Amino acid sequence: MEEARNVPLRKGPGPRAGETAELSESAWAIVLFCVVCGAVAGALLPLLARLLLSLPWAPLKGPAELLTSVPEPALTLGTVAVGALGGLLLGFTAVHESLSVRVTGTHLALTIRDSTQEFPREDVDVLFRDGKQLVALSPSGLELAREPCGLSWRRLADTLTAHGWTWAEQDPYHADFRRWVPGTPGLPAGADALLRARAQARRHEDDAADARELRGELLRLGVVVRDEDKRQYWRIVDG
């Protein structure tokens, strides 16, 4: 694949028997960051409410007047507390959505949203970064995993290659993708309808799980999907 695709690959020296590396984002750092951001937003809320009242054309003056009717320092203390609580909840959600990676010379495990995908080394041909996502491909080119990743990419690549896994600087099949438009020829039966449904789901944040499920359905048909802004690109896996 390296010669045919002309893609830079980093190959490790081979499996390290018995050695395990685990990479994950600091839960405390994520939660603390979200709490601080929430508290700062809460502290600024009274100032923004007063600014809103000073503008004759501004909307939502009723809620702003109600908010500023609370005397200080209770107003600022209250908004800071509410903001910090909101940040705490957001932080716990972010931790739940963060990716952790466990790697040995023979197995790779990706854990996110209380779900773990584990792959033996022979099932994974190459791993690479696609935007903010970690992608694993099989020897046939089928996409095994695509997960959002907040880890240090350099540290992740170094850890994987140190344990014998192959890391690519970009998608080895990048040139094979074609932009999808409704009615695109060359797709397997049913794939165009799935891409239509997925395009609709991607327009709404609440349908992210639906878009993910439809990606899986497309993979079952041998169609790999790559997103770029609001556009979908596809390629067929041979064999």
pLDDT tens across the length of the chain (239 residues) = 334 456 667 776 765 556 899 998 878 888 899 999 999 999 999 888 888 888 877 676 778 788 888 888 888 999 999 999 999 998 888 877 889 999 999 999 999 888 899 999 999 999 999 999 999 999 999 999 999 999 999 999 999 999 999 999 999 999 999 999 999 899 999 999 999 999 999 988 777 889 999 999 999 999 999 999 889 999 999 76
Residues 152 and 187 both lie in one domain: no
∠ Cα 90 96 99 (to 5°): 125
Residues 54 and 102 both lie in one domain: no
Residues 153 and 114 both lie in one domain: yes
Residues 164 and 184 both lie in one domain: no
The pTM assigned to this predicted structure is: 0.77
Among candidate residues 97, 127, 155, the one where a domain is terminated: 97
Residues 103 and 17 both lie in one domain: yes
Domain count for the chain, please give it: 3
Q: What is the pLDDT of residues 184-205, one digit of tens each?
A: 899 999 999 999 999 999 988 7
Structural domain for 183, as ranges: 177-236
Among candidate residues 79, 97, 115, the one where a domain is terminated: 97
